[in-house]
Amino acid sequence: MKDLARFSGKEAQTSLPSQPSQVPLKVQLLTISEEEAGQRIDNFLLRICKGVPKSHIYRVLRSGEVRVNKGRIDQTYRLEQGDIVRIPPVRVAEKPEQNVPGAEFRILLEDSHLLVIDKPAGVAVHGGSGVSYGVIEQLRASRPQAKFLELVHRLDRDTSGILLLAKKRSALTNLHDQIREGGIDKRYLVLVHGDWQNPRQHIKLPLFKYNAPDGERRVRVQADGMASHTVFNLLRKYGTFALLEAELKTGRTHQIRVHLASSGFAIAGDDKYGDFALNRALQKADASRIALKRMFLHAHQITFIHPETGKPVTLNAPLPPECERFLKSLEQTPF
């Protein structure tokens, strides 16, 4: 990859593309719109200059080559509507263009500020870690006219259910504020194996994120981890299984999965923290019980304050058909 390159060229003033297809190869003057306002200059440049190392971005910031309204700024400067940002020429090694197939998903709500979908299990929310593309890239590909589209939060690849996306930066920052303040109520349906007793149970275990030797992101209970709190409500028992509703009081990575596994209750089909022998047995049909080919964890309800109207919104996504069928088969053939 080549370093930042200077070469002559007439400065051109233009409006900022929300999903840039390439980095600038000449000096550009970009005018910040209402939706781009509020973000730090370093984050703005990292988004615009796709493929340029962070060290290069901070180098041009320190050198003064990036200017706002013709003046020097530091990396903590927050952009305001109407600011004119000077971006110097940047050159990176050309990468083959990736064809991302556009896709649409079941829509639970869409307006000028939000897009809320029902994500199927087995689909990543974004590319990375061996995944070429995910929900966000597919939605952007199917909506090339969209000026702004960003994930508000994430779901594990094997978790299905409600996923929020913002169509305006103001909506994104508003919802992130609600998440930080604990103002968004997220609830999941989860099937666990074991003798669950309490109608309502609080689990408070600190969670620590780390990378396994193979580079995979993992989470474990550890005393110096992040404070984490989940409330579980017993909905129904199916033999040695229990269907629970999980209320997230904090939003840590893999929180529900690790809280349950560390408490002795494996999620059916969880291939990372679950009971592997149990999973192998569930993948094969037995008598009238059908096979379970996925993790039984589904984000089924969310409540938040709409960023434009200020009114509470509650959305629901029913259990996917394969999960419903599995529960019905457990009624006939208890495990």
Q: What is the pLDDT of residues 99-158, one digit of tens each?
A: 888 888 999 999 999 999 999 999 999 887 667 889 999 999 999 888 889 999 999 999
DSSP states of 164-214 as a string?
EEESSHHHHHHHHHHHHTT--EEEEEEEEES----SEEEEE--EEEEE-TT
Please report, for the domain that includes residue 229, its CATH number: 3.30.2350.10
pLDDT at residue number 25: 62
Query: φ, ψ for residue 329 (rounded to 5)?
Result: -70, -30
Q: Do residues 177 and 52 share a domain? A: no
The predicted pLDDT at position 9 comes to: 37
| Calpha distance 4→57 (Å, rounded) | 9
Contact 166, 149 (CB under 8 A): yes
pLDDT tens per residue across span 189-207: 999 999 999 999 999 999 9
Q: Which of 87, 102, 123 is the last residue of a domain?
A: 87
87, 111, 135 - which closes a domain = 87
Residue range(s) defining the domain that contains residue 79: 12-87
The active-site residue, picked from 83, 118, 156, 275, is 156
Could you please report the per-residue DSSP string of 262-294?
A: HTT-EETT-TTTS-HHHHHHHTS-BTTBPP--S
Comparing CA positions, the residue from 30, 185, 163, 184 lying closest to residue 108 is 163
Please check whether residues 70 and 180 belong to one and the same domain: no
Chain-centroid distance, C-alpha 202: 25
Task: Specify the pairing of strand 241-248 against strand 185-193.
Answer: antiparallel
Asked whether residue 203 falls in the same domain as residue 306, the answer is yes
Give residue for tokens 């509020």: 38
Q: Give a yes or no: residue 136 inside a domain.
A: no
122 domain residue, yes or no: no
d(CA 104, CA 79): 33
Q: How far is CA 61 from the centre of its chain?
A: 29
- State which of 87, 103, 129 marks the end of a domain: 87
Identify whether 62 is part of a domain.
Answer: yes
What is the value of pTM for the model shown?
0.77
What tokens appear for 219 in the block? 């989470």
Question: Considering the domain boundaries, does residue 29 fall inside one?
Answer: yes
Residue 315 resides in a domain:
yes
Confidence of residue 43 (pLDDT cuts 50, 70, 90): confident
Specify which of 47-56, 167-176, 238-247 reaches the highest per-range mean pLDDT: 238-247
Provide the mean pLDDT of the chain.
Answer: 87
Q: Which helix (H) or strand (E) holds 309?
A: none
- Whether 156 is catalytic is yes
Q: What is the pLDDT of residue 16?
A: 41
Whether 196 maps to a domain, the answer reads yes
Phi, psi of 99 (to 5 degrees): -90, 110
Residue 100, pLDDT score = 83
Residue 83 sits in the same domain as residue 172: no
Q: What is the pLDDT of residue 97?
A: 54
The strand pairing partners of 44, in sequence order, are: none
Asked if the structure places residue 241 within a domain, the reply is: yes
Residue 284 has pLDDT above 70, yes or no: yes
Helix, strand, coil in percent for the chain, rounding step 5: 20, 30, 50
82 and 218 within one domain: no
Q: Hey, what amino acid is at 39?
A: Q
Q: Which pLDDT belongs to residue 11?
A: 44
Domain count, the chain: 2
51 plus 180 within the same structural domain: no
Q: What is the CATH number of the domain that holds 25?
A: 3.10.290.10
Q: Does 111 fall in a domain?
A: no
Regarding whether 302 and 181 lie in a shared domain, the answer is yes
Say if residue 179 is in the same domain as residue 57.
Answer: no
Percentage of the chain beyond pLDDT 70 is 89
Residues 71 and 190 in one domain: no
